[in-house]
Structure formats: structure tokens, C-alpha cells
Amino acid sequence: MREPIRDNPPPRVLKVSGADIELGNFVVRSDDPGCSCREASRALLAEIKGLPRRELYRYNSQPTNWQSVVYGARPVGGGALHQGCSFDDHDLPQDWGRKFLAENGGCVYIDLDHLELCIPEVTNAWDHVAATHAMYRIARSALLSANEKQRGDSKIQALVNNSDGQGNSYGSHISFLLTRRSFENIFSRKSVDLPYLASFQVSSLIYTGQGKVGSENGSLQAAYQLSQRADFFESLTSLPTTYRRGIVNSRDEALCGATGYTMQPDSYARLHSIFFDSTLAQGSTLLKVGVMQIILAMIEAEQRNASLVLDDPVEAVVQISQDVELKNCVPLASGKRLTAIELQELFLQDARRFADEVGFDGIVPRASEILDLWEDTLAKLRAGDVHLLAPRLDWVLKLMTLERTLDRRPQLNWGSPELKVLDLVYSSLDDDGLFWSYQKTGFTEVFVDDQRIEELTETPPDDTRAWTRAMLLRCAGDDVIDTVDWDVISFRLRGPRYWPVTRKISLGTPLALTRADSESIFRRCENLAEVLDSINVASCQPITEDGTDSSMSACQPRESIH
């Protein structure tokens, strides 16, 4: 049953999004293909310029005796330590060597020996697609530079995928801005919000998956499935991201300064989604982010349909992922059984109704275009015209490639190592990457043009705090940058009598200190100290006599909460 439209709707906020994407990285060697993910991730990170600059820890580049996968060496996944390896304090760090990029306001770092790419905050799904591909370009450039320094026949490989074929998964996370009230409703107050969100995510695999040969983690055997992550979810919700993974992650880390941790209903929170696959096709990425924005906007408005809740989302995620024909039914809590397409169509119907009666204006940019693309995709899936979606959806394009290979080489089958190689090569960032080959021929569907991708490689988004973050990094340089995080930057300036003074700037509100708010400050100020003073005034942050901010909270933007 759908919730009735309320006379006094809850506060809502523009669905700002971000993403962090872990790469599969390793070194291919003809003499010894042992574990080299540590070496590869650090070599890639060293080729990316960012702030603050810190000397990388020394690492042992000698390969160990880990069993290699069919294509290169076995990456670390899930934080697991494998027999035969020894590690020191810096071998498997989480969030290691973080660098923020002065070019676009994003960042890179190493997480459990994977290079992790983080896009700057964006306000719409189209910029999310562009920023994601911008970070892929930055990683690809680092890959080419790092390989120029490799000796002999060694070669670093970097894959935009989510599992190593040996039972380990590495993440692809998306973040969405929510009101604190909505976050509390999902995880501690409302009985419907969490299973409703989980049921939407699980059924969305039909257009968000990258596709995968085989199965892992004790899952039922499958020749091919829609999602690379599906085998690794073991609970409805969880705080950890590397074990006992939950479909809906409960991490409460707003990255919005002090305002993110208050219990006030108009303060901010961040939904940290670990469910989705890394995607390369622009259509998959646009749908993954845009439709999720729509569903979260409905949850935030407390308009959700309890009749769409799955009986067992954890079991359903594998059933849907392994259903390449898209015909199997999964049980709802009501006892009704529906296919994933039918369930998604009901979510779409509710979203259309919400658009007519409440609206997404100011909350989900270009919502009508997202709804149309969602509807068109579901219609083609229902009609059985899956092949028509190969230019739009990763799992379909990959499946088409693999089936063509099987047709041309009848001696192969779904268990052949050659097909697993093609699965991995599909996501390669190097010249051998199959997705990029399709893109170069003009086969893939384009939603964001090359010019916008290049812009977000070199410049930050105008309409979030990422713009001011990037400009501050450019203005300051490495000499005075102490620490950088999403919501705060710390500087060490020369004070009276050359005594160092610490200055901190809060970027606590993702929708404040945009280009419109800050550009005039950078134009008129002659030095960094003046810039910091002016930004503090603009963001309502008092400054103590020694120049240290006495408050780490920023003012709420006047028009960000609706």
C-alpha cells in the first residue's frame, strides 16, 4: 500500500552524489605471476599528482607465492589474508596515501592494495557519469605512465571490475546526500524504509550489473550472471564493507562537518551504498545513479510502497543475478511472486505518480529524463529485446561478446578459462579493454559527450563544494597544505615572527561554497590568508586571534533544504 500524500511533507535535500571505485590491479610477469597487487597499486598512485604529498612507504616489490588467476595475479579482496603471505604494518592499509586532486576536487588512495578512485561531489546523474569516466581517464593515464617504467616484460593491469574469480570482492560505492531525518528513518525508526530500499536495489540488477562469468563465495553454480557483487551479500544490512556485507550499508559518516552528526531533522546525512557493480557503460551508470536518486527522494518524502518489499532480499539477489533470461519469480513479503522486471515496473509506476503529485524539482535534476530512460529500458527487457540494450547496459554487452566467442569457437564452453579472460579484459583500462574498443567504434550509447568528461578531468563541478576545494588546493600548493578531507582542509601558514599558524576551512555543506559563492573571493584576494579570511566570513565561521577556526560547522545553504 502506498503512503498517502502528506499536507506537511518532511524536509528534502538535493540528491548530491559521489562514488569511490576500487580497481583490480596487479603486475603480469611471464616468470612469476605471483601476488603483485601491492606493487601495482603503489606504482599507479605514484603517477597521480595530488595533495598533500607524502612520501610513499617503502614496499617489497618481490612477488609472493599466491596462486594467480587466469589473467595476471590475484588481487586482494575483502580484506582477507591468504596463506603464504606475510605483511607488515603498511602492507594492507585502508585509506592509505590519500591524495586530493587540485584539477577536479576528487581524490585517489589505496584501500587494501587496490587503487581507489573517488569522484568529486556532483548534483546530477549526468555529471556523475562524466566524473566517473574522468577518473577512469586519470587512472588510465597513470597506468600508461607506470608501465613505461616497468622492466622487462612486466606490465601493470588495472581493471574496473569487482571480483578476482577466487572468492574475493572489492567495492564500488556510491554516496547520496540525505536529510538526517531520512537516514534515521531508514536505519532506526521506520519499519518499511530499509527493506523497501533493499528490494529496489536487488531488483535493479537487471540494468545495473556489469555481468560476470561463473560464481563465487559458495554461491550456486552459474555459467553467467548479471552482477559481480551479488555473490558477496550475506545480510540485509551491515556496517562492515569487507565481510558479512549487507545489501544496505549502515555507515553513519556524513562527511558534512559537525552538522552531519546532530539529531536535528534538517541536518545532513550520507547514504553509503556498497551494493552496485562498477560500470563502464554510460547507460548503466546513469540508470544506477539517477533511479537511485529518485527512489531516495521518495523515501525521504516518506512515500514508499510496503507492498513492494521482498520476502528475502538476500536470497533474491542471487536468484535475480543468475536469471539471465529474466523470467524467474521471487517472493514478496505479501506472498505474491514477481519477476525482477515486474517489480521494477511497480517501482516505476509509483515514481511516475510521485512526479505528478509531489514532484522532483530541486531534488533530482532531470528526473523526467531519468524516468523515461528507466521506462524504455524496462520495456525492452520485458519485450525480450535484450540485444537492443547492448549499447546501453554492461551485462548485455559483455554477454553478447561472450556468446559471439562461443559461436565462433565451438570447442569452448562457459567453464573455459578463455571466457574468464574475456570477462576480465572487458573492464581493462589499457588498450586491450573490450569496452573501450566498442566505445571507439561508436557502438555504445552516449549520454555524456567527450567534452564534458574532459572538463571534469581538468576542472571541478561548479555547483558543489568540490569547486572551492580544488581552488584552495591550487591556491595553496603543497608547502602549506597540512591535511585534506572532504569536509575540511588544514593549512600551516607563517604567523607573527615566522611562528607557524594552523588554519582550517570547513567545507561542511556540500551545496555551499560553490563556484557562485566563492569565485569572486579568489579573484579579489591577493594571497591565501586573505582567501581563507573571506571564505570563513562567507561560511559564517568565526576565527580566533591565532587564526585557528573556533567552529567547524558551516552555515546551511539557504535553498538546499526543501
Handedness of CA 24, 27, 33, 34 (dihedral sign): negative
Asked if residue 196 lies in contact with residue 310, where contact means CB atoms within 8 angstroms, the answer is no
Q: Which residues contact 450 (CB under 8 A, 6 or more apart)?
A: none
The residue type at 43: A
Taking 70 as the pLDDT cut, the residues of the chain under it are 1-7, 30-34, 53-93, 258-266, 539-562
Bridge partners (DSSP) of residue 428 are 159
Handedness of CA 396, 402, 403, 404 (dihedral sign): positive
Grid coordinates of 558:
539557504
Helices (H), 186-305: 193-203, 205-208, 282-300
Grid coordinates of 538:
562567507
pLDDT in the model for residue 62:
37
Cα–Cα distance between 10 and 562 in angstroms, integer?
8
Peptide bond preceding 195: is omega within 30 degrees of 0, i.e. cis? no
Task: State pTM to two decimals.
Answer: 0.89
Q: Which residues contact 292 (CB under 8 A, 6 or more apart)?
A: 174, 176, 201, 204, 273
The radius of gyration of the chain from alpha carbons, rounded to an integer in Å, stands at 24
How far is C-alpha 78 from the geometric centre of its chain's CA atoms?
17
pLDDT in the model for residue 479:
84
Cα–Cα distance between 130 and 136 in angstroms, integer?
10
The residue type at 97: G
pLDDT in the model for residue 130:
98
How many other C-beta atoms lie within 10 A of the C-beta of residue 353? 15
Grid coordinates of 253:
559518516
Cα–Cα distance between 305 and 172 in angstroms, integer?
28
How many other C-beta atoms lie within 10 A of the C-beta of residue 182? 26
Cα–Cα distance between 140 and 145 in angstroms, integer?
9
pLDDT in the model for residue 152:
85
Phi, psi (rounded to 5 degrees) for 28: -90, 125
pLDDT tens digits, one per residue of 376-408: 999 999 999 999 999 999 999 999 999 999 999
Instruction: Supply the residues annotated as catalytic.
Output: 111
Q: Which of 394, 392, 305, 293 is nearest to 343 (CA)?
A: 305
Grid coordinates of 298:
521518495
pLDDT in the model for residue 5:
60
Q: Which of 321, 160, 330 is nearest to 231 (CA)?
A: 321
Phi, psi (rounded to 5 degrees) for 85: -115, 145
Q: Which residues contact 374 (CB under 8 A, 6 or more apart)?
A: 287, 290, 291, 344, 348, 351
DSSP, collapsed to helix, strand or coil, labels residue 234 as: strand
Asked if residue 113 lies in contact with residue 95, where contact means CB atoms within 8 angstroms, the answer is no
Cα–Cα distance between 476 and 468 in angstroms, integer?
12
